[in-house]
Structure 1
Amino acid sequence: MLSVVVTAVLLPAVPSAALAKAGTTYYVDSKAGDDSAEGTSAAAPWKSLDMVNAADLKPGDAISFKRGSSFTGPLTLAAKGTAAQPIVVRTHGRGTLPKISGTGDDDCVMISGNHWRVSGLRASGCRWAGFQIDGDNNELSGVQADRNVTGVYVTPSGSRNTIRASILTDNNRMSVNDQGGDDDSGAFGVLLNGDDNVVTGNTIMGSYAKSKDYGTDGAAVEIFNGDRNLITHNTARNNETFTELGARKGKTATGNIFAFNVVTSTRSRGSFLITRGSRHVVGPVKGTIAVHNSVYLPARDTIGWSCHDGCSPSILKLRNNAILVGGEAGWEDGQGADEAGGVYKSRTARFKLGPKSVKADPLFTSRTDLRPRTGSPVFDRGVALTHSWYGGKAFAKDMAGKPLTGTPDAGAYQG
């Protein structure tokens, strides 16, 4: 695992009522545990995931994994907590995060229950997903996932879940990688098939793999058949694309929001956002909003955003973004996207600038620090927006946690 620093972001706190009532805590230690022990104290822990999977867990219960432990999955979290009494997974002791692997043949962490609060686990080298969420109202926080097809997978049945303050690194394996058919798929930091989920405050790196159809493929956050998901305040580095959206015919991927994300890459190709109109086989993708994102992709084979095969304002709205790419700043066909308040620098561009938008260098501090320097055209460039553009009042803060006031600046940081 790479050592990274996660940018501090002010995120909505878990309501105190959700942590007020405690039940039984079960302890697990792969080195010193014993499955014949009671498991209800750190001095007499269980040894294996089998005991956790078989436990009759109740709302308010907790599972505490000893740091430095290592297990082979799956860990199945099927019990149901409540909003007032979630079931908690946490760690104790010192050392590295407890690691759950799949040795390529098994799943790692499977959450089919509701109202789980899972923190401090690492899922590595799993069959498909590091963390798979089938249930509702669950939260992953402070977890790590690496060397999977997808770090976190929210299935079509998963809704109102939160993935926050986590590190998803080098999830760089393909699930489909065959010659022809335009169907290669994989290398996702987060894959969302469900609705109304929040992905916030995470660091997502290295979602990038060789593809027989496309040369390379991967996405920090992929949305397919998922509606009203909020992707906000994430740091993305060296992924193939930040986000790509699609839906099968008869399905939808409507109303997804991307706000205050910082996207950088040193790779020879890459993109920020790819979406489609009705003429595409996985279109139309309606109602996507991209607002206050900062993007730096200096290579020539790069694109800021693409809205193709029947683009229109109903497909994509962009506000107050700061985008510097070595390739194409944006691409639209049809009626075009609804764009305003942006700052763009690129070699080419195929879209019409909207109100207050300008072609100019946003003057980022560096290739990885996208705070604007003195004299940047992003200052006071943005257009005023209501909180609904950001997913609600709780998220109307910049990447550093500064509230938006007055005339906003373009990009993820406010001056």
Structure 2
Amino acid sequence: MRLLSVTVMASLLPAVPAEVVAQTRAQAVARAGTTYYVDSRAGDDAAAGTSAGTAWKSLEKVNAAELKPGDTVAVKRGSGFTGPLTLAASGTAARPITVKAYGSGALARIGGIGDDCVVVKGNHWRIGGLRASGCRWAGFQIDGDSNVLAGVQADRNIAGVFVTPSGARNTIRDSVLTGNNRMSVNDRGRDNDSGAFGVLLNGDDNVVTGNTITGSYATSSDYGTDGAAVEIFDGDRNRVTHNIARDNETFAELGATKGGTATGNLFAFNVVTSSRSRGSFLVTRGPRHVVGPVKGTVAVHNSVYLPAKDTVGWSCHDGCSSSILKLRNNVIAVGGEAGWEDGAGADEDGSVYQGRTTRFKLGPKSVVADPRFVSRTDLRLRPGSPALGRGVPLTSKWYGGRAIGEDAAGRRVTGAPDAGAYQR
């Protein structure tokens, strides 16, 4: 049988009606949604906003827009706005609403001490390409569920990112949170200062991963200085992994109101360094503390170097026990106390510690020794490090799932692991 050419075969097919083509194109556009452009310099709020040439000028136009699933807000780089940007609509899992940058230059900056800068009230947003700086409290406040902040910047706020008690299943990733160094309250009243947070988590089941968090540190009337790269208060099952933290007062501090919980939070594969005279890696509390008990905290495969004298690796106090804190396969070198526990003590193993004192019981495979980091800021391990092969094998449950079981450089953790955030 003679084969027909593609051209001949195509000519024999019935023509697709024009109205069907138009309908298909309309459906594709509907699925993609509408893109709205904002340009603080060349925009015009009287314009349509649907192209770069007809961009809006203000955030008020975005706040008032009836955004729908699949829509996008494109913000011109180099723009400057006074907040808030209020994102109240909701997308869906299949069709989130997106905020992104366009053009060239620095990320658009949203500021204004009179209000929080970016407030995410809706669900299923994908937000990137914005800088929130010098805001009333939070650079980014997340009240909704299943939102993603990726590639954002926050600085000079009380909290770079604040996930409120209603915020759940959100992700903060691959962002730069630097110099969030302001304290709220900060009066002579006792024990009521708060602030200088890179990320403050009051909600449940959130993920903080792949971020660079620096300079979370401020003067406090109550505490002298205070601040945390990541603070969890009344938040359950949050996962804090693969972050780079430098020069923060504390990497992570946990607490809960009486009757509230901060249960089952995970810290894994984080790299923590500081040149400050004071600092700590992890602070948690037992039932006798006013903001305790904090139950079920797990810290695995973190690398920490805090060389100053007034430093603590980890502290589990006011009734510490294995139900309060479990640690595995960490490398913690400090100039002060490598770790501190009271009560029955934490459940600890497979780690290397260095410090002036160690006020806790070492696990069977843990040792006190110089971990032999490459340098003060590069916490990979040199040949001959006692951390090589020191770790105990762990199932993916310890990491919060198989997807998290990679080291700080992306290598899969297998076999007899090294202690610390980096594997050979």
TM-score by length of 1: 0.94
* 1:91 aligned residue (101, 123, 144): 101
Deviation at 1:159, TM superposition (A): 0.1
Identity, in percent, stands at 76
Give secondary structure in 1 for the equivalent of 2:135: coil
Deviation at 1:176, TM superposition (A): 2.2
Once the two structures are superposed, residues 176-233 of structure 1 have per-residue CA deviations (whole angstroms, 9 ceiling, x without a partner) of 2122412221100000000000000000000000011111000000000000000000
Runs of 5+ in structure 1 lacking a partner?
A: 1-19
Within the alignment, does 1:78 sit opposite 2:76 as a pair? no
The residue that corresponds to 2:13 in the other structure is none
**Matching residue's letter, 1:23:** G
* 1:33 aligned residue (35, 43, 50): 43
The residue that corresponds to 1:15 in the other structure is none
The residue that corresponds to 1:275 in the other structure is 284
CA distance in 1, matches of 2:102, 2:221: 44
CA distance in 2, matches of 1:246, 1:308: 12
Within the alignment, does 1:378 sit opposite 2:387 as a pair? yes
* 1:155 aligned residue (155, 164, 176): 164
The residue that corresponds to 1:397 in the other structure is 406
* 2:155 aligned residue (146, 155, 160): 146
Give secondary structure in 2 for the equivalent of 1:258: strand
* 1:237 aligned residue (246, 254, 273): 246
The residue that corresponds to 2:174 in the other structure is 165
Within the alignment, does 1:49 sit opposite 2:59 as a pair? yes
Give secondary structure in 2 for the equivalent of 1:381: coil
8 Å CA contact 1:115–1:137 kept in 2: the answer is yes
The residue that corresponds to 2:4 in the other structure is none
Within the alignment, does 1:354 sit opposite 2:354 as a pair? no
* 1:321 aligned residue (330, 333, 344): 330
8 Å CA contact 1:226–1:253 kept in 2: the answer is yes
The residue that corresponds to 1:17 in the other structure is none
The residue that corresponds to 2:320 in the other structure is 311
The residue that corresponds to 1:69 in the other structure is 79
Give secondary structure in 1 for the equivalent of 2:63: helix
Runs of 5+ in structure 2 lacking a partner?
A: 1-29
Structural RMSD (CA) = 0.8
Alignment of 1:88-237 (within 5 A): 88-102=98-112, 104-237=113-246
Once the two structures are superposed, residues 307-331 of structure 1 have per-residue CA deviations (whole angstroms, 9 ceiling, x without a partner) of 0000000000000000000000000
- Length, aligned pairs only: 395
Give secondary structure in 2 for the equivalent of 1:394: helix
The residue that corresponds to 2:260 in the other structure is 251
Deviation at 1:21, TM superposition (A): 4.0
* 1:337 aligned residue (343, 346, 350): 346
More helix by share: 2
> 4+ runs of 1 displaced by more than 3 Å?
none
CA distance in 2, matches of 1:38, 1:27: 9
Deviation at 1:348, TM superposition (A): 0.7
CA distance in 2, matches of 1:323, 1:260: 12
Deviation at 1:85, TM superposition (A): 0.2
8 Å CA contact 1:342–1:382 kept in 2: the answer is yes
Once the two structures are superposed, residues 266-312 of structure 1 have per-residue CA deviations (whole angstroms, 9 ceiling, x without a partner) of 00000000000000000000000000000000000000000000000
Larger relative contact order, structure 1 or 2 (CA cutoff 8 Å, min sep 6): 1
8 Å CA contact 1:21–1:84 kept in 2: the answer is no
**Matching residue's letter, 2:150:** S
CA distance in 1, matches of 2:178, 2:420: 24
TM-score by length of 2: 0.92
**Matching residue's letter, 2:82:** T
